[in-house]
Copies of this chain bind each other. A is one copy, B any other.
Amino acid sequence: LAGEPPSFVYVPELGTAGSRVALSPDEAHYLARVCRARVGDVVRATDGRGAIARLRIASLDREASAEVESVERGARVRRARVWCGPPDGERADWLIEKLAELGVEIFQPLECERGKWTRAAERLERWRRLSIAALRQSHRRFLMEIREPLGIEAGLGELPRECSRSLASMGGRPPGGAGHSEGLWVGAIGPAGGFTHAESTSLEAARFVPMCLSDGRLRTETAALAWAAWWAAGGQ
């Protein structure tokens, strides 16, 4: 926004106006090297949970810190979760970045018959870093949460009753443009080898509506992104 300080960082504990907050080594490095900010500069920060603060940098040394000048909070009005089977190779990395940029609330890796998430622990760590980087990049106030992989039945068990559900499927109907701006949306995308018939049937029985996102076959990560882009374009 015009007139806003251009630098934007992630500070999980923002405190209140007048307090002093510590900056992590990552954020201090980002401010000093990428934003070329200096002591005394005013920057913006989010706690990733809805607050945005104006901070005045007090130090960028080993014990980097800033004074909180003001804090304001916003509520999340639009919410989307992506349930996603594993794509090929390391394609999940950029998918995470893009979904976070688009404002998805939760990324839920889905264990499927035809695809298991391997090395989940180390990848979760990396994905959380990518999610923070995308938060800074997109100047958002909510950090995308990345959950541990879950099977479809377990996922269905913890889904809120009231939500709109899409299943990416070439056999589905085109999404249309209206009516997806409010409430929680969940999009389920199969692994590189696709959902099995049994899995699709379970999802459809749980009110996941087949949605055709393109007139060609999409890779897992492309379908996940296309669904999120469709959702993001739907209401602002």
Listed in ascending order, the chain A residues whose CB lies under 8 Å from chain B are 78, 94, 98, 101-103, 137-140, 174-178, 212-219, 222, 225-226, 229-230, 232-236
Contacts and interface: CB of A to CB of B under 8 A. Distances in A.
B174 A233 contact: yes
21 contacts: A78-B215, A94-B94, A101-B216, A101-B218, A101-B219, A102-B226, A137-B217, A137-B219, A138-B216, A174-B233, A174-B236, A175-B177, A176-B177, A176-B178, A177-B178, A213-B232, A214-B229, A214-B236, A215-B236, A226-B229, A226-B232
The 6 closest A-B pairs by CB, nearest first: A177-B177, A229-B229, A226-B229, A138-B216, A214-B232, A215-B236
**Identical copies in the complex:** 2
A216 B103 CA distance: 7
A195 to B, nearest CB: 15
A140 B219 CA distance: 13
Nearest to A174: B236
A98 B101 CA distance: 17
Most buried by B among A98, A178, A229: A229
A41 to B, nearest CB: 20
Given A98-B222, A174-B236, A236-B174, A229 B213 contact: yes
Nearest to A102: B214
